[in-house]
Amino acid sequence: MTGPAARAFLGVEASATGRRWVGPSPEEDRLAEAMAQTTRLPLALCRTLVRRGVPASDAESFLAPALRDLLPDPLTLKDMAPAAARLLQAVARRERIAIFADYDVDGGSSAALLIVWLRALGRSATLYIPDRIDEGYGPNVPAMQALAEAHDLILCVDCGTLSHEPIAAAKGADVVVLDHHLGAETLPPALAVVNPNRQDEDGALGHLCAASVVFLLLVEANRRLRAEGVQGPDLMAMLDLVALATVADVAPLTGVNRALVRQGLKVMARRERPGLVALADVARMKTAPNSYALGFLLGPRVNAGGRIGQADLGARLLSTEDPREAQALAERLDQLNTERREIEARVREEALAQAEARGISGPLVWAAGEGWHPGVVGIVAARLKEATNRPAVVIGFENGIGKGSGRSIAGVDLGASIHRVAHEGLLLKGGGHRMAAGLTVEEGRLEAAMERLGELLARQGAAEAGPADLRLDGLLMPSAATAEFVEQIDSAGPYGAGAAAPRFALADQRVTCRRMGDKHMRLTIGGAEGRLEAVAFGCFDGPLGPLLEGGGAGRFHLAGRLEIDTWGGSARVQMRLEDAARA
């Protein structure tokens, strides 16, 4: 049992972070033991597979997913055939091609995929990424008019599904949309709109990010080239870009997404793409790439250009072949990311205080402020969502117009709700997907819009969520946390959105703490019977750090994820501590 009637794991009903600990159910334990007997796999790995819903009969294929078996036929997506045909026509006729991309990692990766593919065929494309502040998200009329005057084909990636007027303004050029954001009842007047989240799609591929949609287009294009006796560009070598976009866009790491990321990480480990090599080096990434590195080290730096700097820096970095240019771009993005963190910290503090004053027990947590940088409101919304386990929206106003971003919780479709509020006229525009969305609102309609959005989210149960339970995969002794154990667990990865990394508890442990700067902490867990090093990032932003630091000679139950740390050139196992409770 994992519901309210189940006993809390180790008796922890309210941890330092206010969460109830929930361990494996008796049924999960039975399934894991049966799987271990049937497959001869380690029990800890079987527990992880069971928690991910993998039956014993599928364990072998899950641990070694074959992309060829999981990749869908591109033609299952509507408009894929005319999109691929038009792209190949432009290549064959040496037409002028423009790529209009969103300014985030998914947009930059999507653009880079097309640029690299075209370059391999001896063709080039004009890259256009709108300025977040001056132009906002997606195609706009002036930009599309200008691109249409100088190009024959415009490819809109990670945007365009709701851009009826701008696409109609692209007179004289064909427009192909490659997107994944929620579509409206009518589609824009493009030659093709390839989007698994069109309303006339069945939603089976709705979890794909835009880069995966672009990848499927290139799969179909290559297939058509092969039918003509032409060898297309090497698509497997481009999966590092798809992996980066999938993780950074918080797409669920299940099904084909998991296979794409798993293979993409292998490609990235070869260090063949100059931009990603330079970015990994400036981010001081010392381990083999994993989903954490993509989501928290590389992704934020690629995003930094679109958030507070020059919008096209990320796409240029990902597509360049010149190591010197890559180094310069990576250093600039690293600098911008540092500036972004400083801006974010100020806005986060103000937004959290405002949200708490308004109340955080309802179906929606929101905050708005004059002059809040639109490039950080999405990150701050994510922080509010994490702190409250509620959908969150953060809006920055300038001259009476607010541009905001929202993040949702599992089971609550924020994008559809924001789209409806926009359709009802309370927002100037808005849309997105289930877990993330954007909006634009007039200051005079802010309160009414947020009230209406809260009503729609309440219907989905957003107000019923308490602090999220912390699900744990089992109990460990410090001495059991070996490199071999971590490698076994990692074989069921990669982990990320929709596939949480296994978390383990250490019971009744003594800890020795030492601060790292103002917010972080390093710990040594255990004693003579076995020790484990741990790190708790950002623990002094909340109650976890003070609890452990002030614990004296007390003993604690500890919970977190295991990883291999290579700090100082030597590899060792450490716990990334997430929670604690007095034993």
Round to whole Å and give the CA distance between 162 and 558.
Answer: 47
User: pLDDT value at position 99?
Assistant: 98
Give the HSE-up count for residue 500: Cα atoms under 13 Å, Cβ half-sphere. Answer: 13
Round to whole Å and give the CA distance between 392 and 367.
Answer: 8
Tell me the β-bridge partners of 126: 98
Q: pLDDT tens, position by position, for the chain (583 residues)? A: 444 456 899 999 999 988 899 999 999 999 999 999 999 999 989 999 999 999 999 999 999 999 999 999 999 999 999 999 999 999 999 999 999 999 999 999 999 999 999 999 999 999 999 998 889 889 999 999 999 999 999 999 999 999 999 999 999 999 999 999 999 899 999 999 999 999 999 999 999 999 999 999 999 999 999 999 999 999 999 999 999 999 999 899 999 999 999 999 999 999 999 999 999 999 999 888 999 999 999 999 999 999 888 899 999 999 999 999 999 999 999 999 999 999 999 999 999 999 999 998 899 999 999 999 999 999 999 999 988 889 999 999 999 999 999 999 988 999 999 999 999 999 999 988 888 899 999 999 999 999 999 999 999 999 876 667 899 999 999 999 999 999 999 999 999 988 989 999 999 999 999 999 989 999 999 987 789 999 999 999 889 999 999 877 789 999 999 998 876 667 789 999 999 999 9
Round to whole Å and give the CA distance between 317 and 108.
Answer: 9
Q: What is the 3-state secondary structure (H, E, C) of 389-413?
A: CCCEEEEEEECCEEEEEEECCCCCC
Per CATH, is 359-464 categorized as 3.90.700.10? Answer: no
Between strands 530-536 and 153-157, the pairing is unpaired
Round to whole Å and give the CA distance between 241 and 234.
Answer: 13
User: pLDDT value at position 3?
Assistant: 44
Domain 472-582 belongs to what architecture? Beta Barrel (2.40)
**pLDDT tens column, 47-104:** 999 999 999 999 999 999 999 999 999 999 999 999 999 999 999 999 999 999 999 9
Question: DSSP letters along 43-92, please?
Answer: HHHHHHHHHTT--GGGHHHHHS--HHHHSPPGGGSTTHHHHHHHHHHHHH
Question: What single-letter amino acid sits at 557?
Answer: H
Round to whole Å and give the CA distance between 192 and 38.
Answer: 49
User: pLDDT value at position 4?
Assistant: 46
Phi-psi region of 431 (alpha: psi -120 to 50; beta: other; left: phi over 0): left
φ, ψ at 81 (rounded to 5°): -60, -50
Domain with CATH 3.10.310.30 in the chain: 359-464
User: pLDDT value at position 451?
Assistant: 97
Q: What is the CATH number of domain 70-334?
A: 3.90.1640.30
Strands (E), 365-494: 365-370, 392-398, 401-407, 429-432, 436-442, 470-471, 474-476
Domain with CATH 3.90.1640.30 in the chain: 70-334
Domain with CATH 2.40.50.460 in the chain: 472-582
Helices (H), 270-311: 274-282, 291-293, 299-308
